[in-house]
Structure 1
Amino acid sequence: MLHITLWKRILIWGLCALGLLTALPNLFYNRVEKHNDAIVAAERAGFETPEQAADRALWPGWMPSGIVNLGLDLRGGAHLLAEVQVADVYKARMDALWPEMRRALSEARGEIGGIRRAPSDPAELRIQIEKPEAMAKAVEIAGGLATNVVSLTGVGQKDLAITAEGNTLVVRLSDAERAATDDRTMQQSLEIIRRRVDEVGTREPTILRQGSDRILIQVPGIGSAEELKSLIGTTAQLTFQPVVGRGTDPNAIARAGQEILPSLDEKGIYYTLEDMPVVTGEELTDARPDFDQNGRPAVSFRFNPTGARKFGDYTAANVGQLFAIVLDNEVISAPRINQHIPGGSGIITGNFTVESSTQLAVLLRAGALPAKMNFLEERTIGPELGQDSIDAGRLSSIIASVAVVAYMVASYGLFGVFASIAVMVNVVLILAVMSMMGATLTLPGIAGIVLTVGTAVDANVIIYERIREELRAGKRVVKAIDDGFSEAMSAIIDANVTTFIAAAVMFFLGSGPVKGFAVTLTIGLVTSVFTAIFLTRMLIVLWVEWRKPKQLIL
């Protein structure tokens, strides 16, 4: 019989009410967005500014605050295609290997004679041996520093390829190690870029590896491609170096093992530093905006156990000396070591603002990019163009909805009104589910919603046609409606399963825009089945219970 138990009625109306409440923040998009941004910014900084408090008050805290994120084509933003210079990592590996190689070969000086590093390609290390007849011994010693390649494809292979050319020992990365290094470099670059972009609160960025050495970066809501480049392109190479001297001559000649770097805040001041850092940013575990003892913005930091030990040992042995904090070849601060600093924590002071200290903390916390990047393609999509896309999508959705409603009402009368109500609720539920998921809506996603509006009534059409057949067979109204829903169920399930399979294929094999279409289509399938089978049935049952019709013209 055409009957719905009380608990099912409560569940159906409850789900509809929950969907409406969850989708409601999208009607107040800008206010909710500012509210969410203020909460995230305050949590990251550890304190709340008056402006953030005002933004947080724009939306009640007890209300749902999830919204559908707008993609690059709707919100505007920046698009970059970057090429990672993986060869930079080879040079860094060779430079880091030289001190260890020099120490190992020096221990056998009696057999191989003197050694010195010769000019070479950045990707290799060339060492001249005083006694060419002992080259085999030198190759053996150098080979002892090779380790196994850490990768699935390089199992059993060594990371160094060592050869002899006359009286020169040549050290390069092996082919297997180069492949593993390239992969690690790309993965590290992807992670660092993702962390830097996430730190500034952008929503749903697209950061993907393309090919062997390229990265696609799309960030909705950011001002321009230049702004995005400045955020991700900064290498943030932090070092802590001993200070030898301080002066005003940028052309002064530095001794071997020293370098002259400018001060970031003190115009015209240059520091002479020892070029070997005591600790580096790679040993940094945390950095956050803070305030110094005078209440001025600063950045606090903390080292890992290795860095903490080296930092503590150096400060204990050099009390009273200047200690430079260098970021990207500029001295941002050169405090005096007043006492031993154990524990591996400290603070960077300088001419900071709250904004600049927060930005520096972001860069330090995200780490240093392992290699430089060349930007092959950059594009800025203005918010005006994104708004035009939103307006076009809204207009197409309205036209599609009006056309569907008009057709259903013209074809099925009052039952067409019930189906139209179900379609509108279906759209609300799609937005609610996407808001809970934090999904991103793009132009293809809007196309998926419009398609869902058009196809959501298919289930109702099948049901209504089955009811018509039952009425023609002479069944009473209640029996015809009940049998119409029962008989149509298998056809509805089959049709939606096949569409779901197509959506799954598009999601797993498609690119970003295709995936966006597949996500909205899949969500629409689930919600349309719910609204067509359960909500429409509920509306019809209520009407039947109220009017108790003896006959039905459909």
Structure 2
Amino acid sequence: MRRGNIIKLVALVLFVAVAVALSIKPLVDPAKGIPLGLDLRGGVHLVLQAEPNKNGALITSDEMDKAKAIIAKRVNDLGVSEPIVQVDYDKKRVVVDLAGITDPDKAVDILKTTAKLTFRDPKGNIVLQGDELTDARAGQGQDPNQGFIVNLTFSSDGTKKFTDLTTKYIGQQIGIYLDDKLLKNPEVRMPITNGQAYIDHYATLEAAAKDAVLMRSGSLPVSMSIAEKRQVGASLGIDSLHKSIKAGIYGLIFIFLFMLVFYRLPGVVADFSLIVYGLIVLWIFWMFRVVLTLPGIAGFILSIGMAVDFNIIIYERVKEEVLAGKSLRAGIESGFSRAFITVIDAHVTTFIAAMTLYYFGTGSIKGFALTLGVGIIASLFTAITFTRFVLRLIVGISPKLETTWFGVRRAI
């Protein structure tokens, strides 16, 4: 049993060491590593102002949603990694943050032009313009096999053209294009003469609603002008990143020393668990392409402090159990059981706060909340599961360990 625990512990340490060594390069790779936000990578910050409609009507929230959808699509066409596109409904503005952009003027020219929606026959000829589509709305199909649909409504002129189109090309596909890029390619099943059509077989309502917004934009264009253009230098972002990393390293060194001095052997286990915790969080960031910003780094560092705090709560409970006369093995089991509810409560309440910030916040606030939430989940695993597993291995190797190694001044 003892030999088996020694082998497991050594194998675990070697596995973590190799994981750390293999993780450094992919995680920090500028092209494929954890994506960095505007404040760390540099780029351009744009504020696009919606211009009044030609007929003098007030700009509606629906029009602003269309403008946002169009701009977000064009940003994706630019190949920008993890852009941030937000709407200020009161000021009728769209705020865009583009990290890594080297030619901001080109991005501005692409983003501020008015979208063009067209319907094309199978040969690629334009047969309908976007202004002949009066409405497009997402909904649930009447037949369950249809899935979610987008209902289309055409103007009187559009109805005539669409009637001719659908009569001529039954069994063939009609292309719907936005800015000369294919948006949807539905098949004509029968002549449609009443100006009411639908596109079916969307997997989700969200996907149908997204296309509906883009299609409606053809009939209600919103011209945009540049209200603000600010370039963030890459050197400023790199300097901020270096300072954040340096602060994080100093903080980790202090935490490691604190745990070693006050908790002895459990402190070593806690430091080891923190390394595992950091690996888990960073790999989650990498796999889900979480954009790392300065507020996001702050949330990550805060979650590290919480992970240490949870270990302290657990160790204090273990010390109380040992001082009450229990053996070291029994004290560990009882201490973890007593601390479990406290640790879970702290995790749940903080996680709820983080998710509230993420749901109601915008931009950098979302980044802070997301990294904090991910950190809370990872710290729960390391504090309750991983740390307990390692302590069990250590006690299994030597059940007669001196309790002073656990910060308790009483020999067993």
TM-score by length of 1: 0.52
In the other structure, the counterpart of 2:110 is 231
Contact 1:20–1:429 (Cα < 8 Å) also in 2: no
Q: Supply the distance in 1 between the matched residues of 2:51 and 2:256 (Cα, whole angstroms).
A: 57
- Alignment match of 2:224 (pick from 373, 386, 389): 373
1:185 is aligned to 63
**Contact kept in structure 2, 1:396 and 1:450, CA below 8 Å:** no
Counterparts of 1:510 and 1:221 in 2: how far apart (Å)? 24
Rate the CA distance shift 1:22–1:281 in 2: closer, same or farther, 3 A: farther
Q: How does 1:47-196 map to 2 (within 5 A)?
A: 67-88=33-54, 90=55, 123=56, 178=57, 182-196=60-74
C-alpha distance in 2, partners of 1:548/1:451? 35
Cα distance between partner residues in 1 of 2:362 and 2:31: 32
CA distance in structure 2 between the aligned counterparts of 1:503 and 1:364, rounded to whole angstroms: 36
- Inter-partner Cα distance in structure 1 for 2:269 and 2:342: 20
Contact 1:207/1:215, CA 8 A, preserved across alignment: yes
Deviations 1:402-454 (A, max 9, x none): 11001101111121111011112111111222223322211011011111222
Counterpart contact for 1:22–1:432, Cα < 8 Å: no
In the alignment, the residues of structure 1 paired with residue 367 and residue 348 of structure 2 have an alpha-carbon distance, to the nearest angstrom, of 19
Aligned-pair distance for 1:483?
A: 1.3
1:387 aligns with 2:266: no
Q: Check 1:194–1:549 CA distance in 2 against 1; reply closer, same or farther (3 A cut).
A: same
CA distance in 1, matches of 2:28, 2:320: 46
Q: 1:545 to 1:81 in 2, by over 3 A?
A: same
Stretches of structure 2 lacking an aligned partner (at least 5 in a row): 120-125, 134-153, 166-171, 185-213, 408-412
Q: Is the 8 A contact 1:463 1:485 kept in 2?
A: yes
Q: How does 1:397-412 map to 2 (within 5 A)?
A: 397-412=248-263
The residue that corresponds to 2:332 in the other structure is 481
1:485-544 alpha-carbon deviations (Å, 9 max, x no partner): 111112212222222232233223333212211111111111111101111111111111
The Cα shift of 1:221 comes to 1.4
Partner residue of 1:214?
A: 93
Native 8 Å contact 1:84 1:374 kept in 2: yes
Partners of 2:368 and 2:336 in 1: CA distance: 30
Structure 1: stretches of 5+ with no match in the other structure: 33-66, 91-122, 124-177, 241-276, 285-304, 315-341, 346-359
Partner of 1:534: 385
Match of residue 322 from structure 2? 471
The Cα shift of 1:551 comes to 3.2
Offset, 1:479: 1.2
| Equivalent residue number for residue 188 of structure 2 | none
In the alignment, the residues of structure 1 paired with residue 346 and residue 370 of structure 2 have an alpha-carbon distance, to the nearest angstrom, of 18
Report how many aligned residue pairs link the two structures: 327
1:457 — aligned with what?
A: 308
- Residue 310 of structure 1 and its aligned partner are, at CA, apart by 6.2
Residues in 2 aligned to 1:22 and 1:437: alpha-carbon distance in whole angstroms? 19
Deviation at 1:283, TM superposition (A): 8.3
Task: Determine helix, strand or coil for the equivalent of 1:69.
Answer: coil
| In 1: Cα distance, 2:115 partner to 2:89 partner | 26
> Counterpart of 1:421?
272
Moved more, 422-431 or 400-409: 422-431
1:517 aligns with 2:364: no
Q: What SS does the aligned partner of 2:63 have?
A: helix
- Which runs of structure 2 are paired with 1:272-287 in the superposition (5 Å)? 280=129
Which deviations, in whole Å up to 9, do the C-alpha atoms of 1:350-377 show, x marking residues without a partner? xxxxxxxxxx855999886812212111
Instruction: Tell me by how many angstroms 1:282 deviates.
Output: 6.5
Instruction: Write the letter of the residue equivalent to 1:504.
Output: M
Confirm or deny: 8 A CA contact 1:22 1:436 kept in the other structure: no
User: What is the aligned partner in structure 2 of residue 200 from structure 1?
Assistant: 78
* Alpha-carbon distance, 1:18 to partner: 13
CA–CA distance in structure 2, aligned partners of residues 475 and 343 of structure 1:
77
RMSD: 4.0
Question: How far is 1:16 from its partner?
Answer: 8.0
Alignment match, 2:147:
none
Q: Distance in 2 between matches of 1:397 and 1:183?
A: 42
- Does the CA-based 8 Å contact 2:34-2:291 persist in structure 1? yes
Task: Find the counterpart in structure 2 of residue 503 from structure 1.
Answer: 354
- 1:507 counterpart letter in structure 2: Y
Please tell me the residue identity of whatever aligns with 1:235. T
Q: Secondary structure at the match of 1:376?
A: strand
SS in 1 for 2:402: coil
Going from structure 1 to structure 2, the CA distance change for 1:283 and 1:18 (only over 3 Å counts) comes to farther
Match of 2:97, SS? strand
* Structure number with higher relative contact order (C-alpha < 8 Å, ≥ 6 residues apart): 2
CA distance in 1 between partners of 2:344 and 2:232 (Å) = 41
1:493, 1:549 → 2: CA distance?
31
Change (3 A) 1:239 1:514: closer
Q: Per-residue deviation at 1:218?
A: 1.0
**Paired residue for 1:170?**
none
Amino acid at match of 1:487: R
Cα distance change on mapping 1:199 and 1:31 into 2, 3 Å: closer
Distance 1:371 1:470 in 2: 68
Q: How does 1:182-331 map to 2 (within 5 A)?
A: 182-212=60-90, 213-235=92-114, 237=116, 280=129
Paired residues for 1:537-552 under 5 Å: 537-552=388-403
Of 417-426 and 221-230, the range deviating more from structure 2: 221-230
CA–CA distance in 1 between the matches of 2:30 and 2:355? 33
CA distance, structure 2, for counterparts of residue 238 and residue 523 of structure 1: 40
Does the C-alpha gap of structure 1 residues 237 and 468 become closer, same or farther in structure 2, counting only changes over 3 Å? closer
**CA apart distance, 1:457:** 1.0
